[in-house]
Amino acid sequence: MKKIVVTGGLGFIGSNLIDLLIKKNFFVINVDKVSYSSNFYNHREYKNSKKYKFIKCDIKDKKFKNIIFKYKPICIFNLAAETHVDRSIDNPKNFIQSNIVGVYNLLEYFKEYSDKFKSKLIHISTDEVYGDILKGRTTEKYPYYPSSPYAASKAASDHLVSAYVRTYKIPAIITNCSNNYGPKQHPEKLIPKLIYNIINNKPLPIYGKGINSREWIYVKDHCEALLKVFKKGKIGQFYNIGSNKNLNNMQVCKSLLNISKKLINLGNKVKINFVMDRPGHDIRYALNSNKIRKELNWKPKISFTKGIKLTFNWYNDNKKYYKTLSKKDILKRLGKKWLKKELF
């Protein structure tokens, strides 16, 4: 059975990707350092599978090198990263260590490994590296212009991977994806946070005026795209992965309210609460994903209307998921010490 390593596999995208890979009959080694956003609830469906193994390890550690040489994976999907913009505003150092230093160490280990064994590295990144896109959509040739410490750390890691491809000829591919949503996402992010507050009769915090626009893609569509990139993607290339569907935060919030009204009794405290915007908040992200659609014959299958219903139902049916998390991590607003006044 062919083996694949997924780093950060106890997180949101990683755990959904592992589920897909196991169903495609790969043996998956999940390497995760177990941070606040890692959740063992996320691997409960397959934790006892004969096609799965979990190993606690930071990609910065030499232990990671030993893991890949032992299991000899045909591919490494790198999803090990700090990802929350507000956290990066409070503590950029953690993002530098994980997203830049961690990737540097991974590249050094993979460089040595790929000299001896046939393999690929798929480095998963974000549309945030492009910065504000007020008009049109960004192709893979668009320059990077990150706004937050998080986006800057991901941009740096992308450049490192690309440099190692050119300089050391490592077999790596970079993907940049739009905003994911779906099951198993930590509620520091917008959609699961809104769902948590709806279920628990709490106000719905919306930054600024709610006009910030994001391109939303259902996580399982993203995972299918990553599998396509692994199978058919060209070494050294960048691939944008998006839905071509933009909604601002108010539109997302209203969609969730409309769905929830049909499924549960809304409490009297479930109301939209506009709060002070985060520092440096980008207005709009938007990707041009024509390259992956044309070259790799991929396109998203789940509409936002369908996906948001699936997402709400998953959290409503899996209330135990929230109980595995610290309430502080769910409710506390981060990045607020840089605001002029507190609104939470």
Residues tagged active-site: 127-128, 150
Strand partners, 197: none
Collapse the DSSP code of 159 into the 3-class scheme (helix H, G, I; strand E, B; otherwise coil) and give the result: helix
Asked if residues 138 and 240 have their Cβ atoms less than 8 Å apart, the reply is: yes
Q: What share of the chain is helix, strand, coil (3-state, %, to 5)?
A: 45, 15, 40
Q: Please count the helices (runs of H) and the strands (runs of E) in the chain.
A: 13, 12
- Of 218, 177, 241, 225, residue with least CA distance to 303: 218
In this structure, what token pair is assigned to residue 153?
Answer: 């750390």
How distant, in Å, are the alpha carbons of 15, 180, 318 from that of 41?
10, 19, 10
At 109, which amino acid appears? Y
If phi > 0 it is left, if psi is from -120 to 50 it is alpha, else beta; for residue 136 that is left
Sheet holding 120-126, edge to edge: 52-56, 27-32, 3-7, 75-78, 120-126, 172-177, 238-241
CA distance to 83, 190, 329, per residue, from 326 (Å): 18, 17, 5
User: Which residues lie closer than 8 Å to 302 by C-beta, 6 or more apart?
Assistant: 218, 220, 221, 310
